[in-house]
Amino acid sequence: MRPTETPETRSVRLLRVGEQVRHALSDILMRGDVHDETLASHAVTITEVRMSPDLRHATCFVKALLGKDEDAVLKALRTNTAYLQREVAQRVQTRYAAKLKFVADESFDEGSHIDSLLRAPHVARDLAGDDD
């Protein structure tokens, strides 16, 4: 361990590398470099990439735009994982090529659920009564 390395700087490094991996994956998918019919016919966004502390594993949170066929998109990404790992390793220069794991991003669904709860009439009535 380097003497100047702290938990804060390590987390900044993890965030930086995760963002580089996210950009690389987004670029590969946007250009259509993956020759897969499912990925070619669906717009896919990589919302976040979380790196393990040793930078050997990357959990990629994926959202199929318009929420259509999310299972088919995840299956296609998992099928093409080896190709995507090679491409990301070439673009993001780290000591080890990160193993990619694709997971559906549920945060948008959770956010819309919370928003609908806050807009419910009985909740809005309770929130309006707090002006006392």
For residue 51, the domain's CATH number is: 3.30.300.20
Residue 99 domain flag? yes
CA distance 80 to 58: 15
97 is in which domain, residue-wise?
7-106
Span 9-22, pLDDT tens digits: 558 889 999 999 99
Q: What is the DSSP letter of 101?
A: E
pLDDT class for 32, splitting at 50, 70, 90? confident
Residue 26 domain flag? yes
Residue 76 domain flag? yes
Residue 74 domain flag? yes
**Which spans in the chain are helix H?**
7-31, 37-41, 70-79, 81-91, 107-118, 121-128
Residue 115 domain flag? no
Residue 71 domain flag? yes
Give the number of domains in the chain: 1
pLDDT class for 66, splitting at 50, 70, 90? confident
pLDDT of residue 132: 46
User: Cβ distance 44 to 73 under 8 Å?
Assistant: yes
Residue 1 domain flag? no
Residue 91 domain flag? yes
